[in-house]
Structures are given as C-alpha cells and as structure tokens.
Amino acid sequence: TCSAALNAFARVDFVAKIWICPFCYQRNHFPPHYAMISETNLPCELYPQYTTVQYTLQPDPNNPSSAPQLPPVFVFVLDTCMIEEELEFVKSAMKQAIGLLPENALVGFVSFGTQAHVHELGFSDMSKVYVFRGNKEITKEQVLEQLGLGAAGRRPTAGYPKGLQNGFTNTGVNRFLLPASDCEFTLNSLLDELQTDQWPVQAGHRASRCTGVALSVAAGLLGACLPGTGARIVALVGGPCTEGPGTIVSKDLSEPVRSHKDLDKDAAPYFKKAVKFYDSLAKQLVSQGHVLDLFASALD
C-alpha cells in the first residue's frame, strides 16, 4: 500500500511465500515467478549487502507507444578546482569507471571550475568544447539552444544515417553522448590533457566553483534524450559551490561554510536561495526520469 519495493529489511515467511513491508507492515504475496525462493535460494533484493537494486522495465508489447529499450546513459561531471594530486586521483578513478561500463552505454562529459565546459566527444579530430558562464542561471531551453539541440538547431549530423542512432532519434545529441566503446580513447586522451582550473585565485579566497551551472547543463543535456532512459549524472566534486546559482558560501575564506546553528538562527545568507535552486534541479531530473549521483570530498 505504501509503494515500497521488496528489500533486505522486509520480514519473509518462506513457507507461506509472504513478505511484510518494514514501512507499512502490509503483508504481500510473492509473484508466481518467485515460487522457488527459500532461505538458501534468495532473490537479489533480499541480500543485505545489496543496498541498491535497479529494475529494467520491459516495454509493453501490447502498447505500441511504449519506449524501445535504450542503452543506459552516464554523464560525468568533473570539478577541476582541485590541487593537482587530487585531480590526478579522480581522473584515474574516472578512467577505471569508464572502462567498466557496458560497451553500448552512452557517455557524456562536462568539466567545470569558474565556467562549465561541455565536451563534444563526437568530434574526435580536435578538442571541441562548449563553454557556459559560471555566474549566470541557465534554463534547460537555453542549454539546448547553445548546444544546438533546440528545435531550431537540430540538424542531421554528418556521418550518421538519419533516424535512429543508439536508440535516439537524430536530434544531434549523438555529438555529446557516445557509446563507451567508441569514445573511451577520446575520453582518456581528454582526461590526460585536462588541467586544474586556470582562473587565478586570490590569496585567502576559495576557488570559483560553478557546481550549480555544471549540474544544470548536464541535466539539460539529458533532457534532450528521451525521458526515462535510465540516465544518470555522476558528479565528482571537490569543494563547495562559490559561483553562480547554487552558491552556498562566499569566496572569502574568512567566512566558514554555514553550520546547523547558523541555519537555526537564520544566519545563513545563501541557504534559502541555494535550496530553491537545488529543489528546482531535482524536480527537473525527476520529471525527466534521471538520476544524480554526487560524490563529494572536501574538508570545507
């Protein structure tokens, strides 16, 4: 009744083939294809170490409008406002992750510091990048327009047949999202050349980090895919957002990041505006059926 899915915290009666929801205590019968379960033959949802289970919904053969099976999509968003050593570690972790993706998985790449850069992986002759200002809020429509994915800018891409490409109708999104097997070499070369953010940082100040714009751009790019394609943004962040929408602290290091006490006293000047921004980003991703994973490492 509460819409929860079977999970490792549910109580199971193997004889009666019933599981009890840990949230609403509703007793639920297992579906017929779970008839073989026993204490020694568990479905993966009941393994305590499997804290996340992802389901692939098969298209309904009786419903002609149900979406075709599309490959999973991963857009990596990498913070370059880090010390050289940290950036090297995160680049090597990213290369490892890309090597482990299914070959048909589509991959995109956004790097950011003072500005956000969308890398056009489909243009392998040289490094081609779309730059977004880090201090300006940007709508999904503006992202698509600037990347040439808006209604006016959609043009068949040279070298690709018209029609379906990787399961997407040819909206030009193939310039930014490529199968892992096709773009692994390009991405690795890109990462090898990627340097820490080159904008000068004043002494006693934090770096300009436009996390909010970078995430908006990644969400906008995924908005050009079919909704509900099983796409996720994997954001690797090395510190607080200090530039543009989503800012949570000023650049002056003498001002610490707000604490819980500051929130209680309403003494966190950036808090309400930032919450409003991240809430709207969350709503956009939910409406698109997409996921944001945020990996953050920062003492600040």
Residue 36 has pLDDT above 70, yes or no: yes
Residue 30 has pLDDT above 80, yes or no: yes
∠237-86-211 over CA atoms, to 5°?
20
Residue 229 lies in a domain: yes
**What does 261-278 look like in DSSP terms, one character per residue?**
HHHHTT--TTHHHHHHHH
For residue range 117-166, what is the model confidence (pLDDT) as tens digits? 999 988 877 788 999 999 999 988 899 899 988 765 444 443 333 334 45
Q: Are residues 2 and 142 in the same domain?
A: no
Residue 166 lies in a domain: no
Buried b (16+ CB within 10 A) or exposed e, 227-237: eebbbbbbbbb
In this prediction, residue 199 carries a pLDDT of 85
Global model pTM greater than 0.75: yes
Percent of the chain with pLDDT over 70: 88
For residue range 181-227, what is the model confidence (pLDDT) as tens digits? 888 888 999 999 999 988 889 899 999 999 999 999 999 999 887 66
Q: What is the β-pairing status of strands 73-79 and 106-112? A: parallel
Which CATH number characterizes residue 51's domain? 2.30.30.380
Quote the mean pLDDT of the chain: 86
Domain of 39, in residue numbers = 1-56
Q: Are residues 217 and 261 in the same domain?
A: yes
In this prediction, residue 151 carries a pLDDT of 63
In this prediction, residue 295 carries a pLDDT of 93
Q: Is 62 helix (H, G, I), strand (E, B) or coil?
A: coil
Average pLDDT estimate for 164-184: 74
Q: Are residues 175 and 84 in the same domain?
A: yes
- Show the DSSP H helices in the chain as ranges: 84-100, 140-146, 180-193, 211-223, 260-264, 271-288
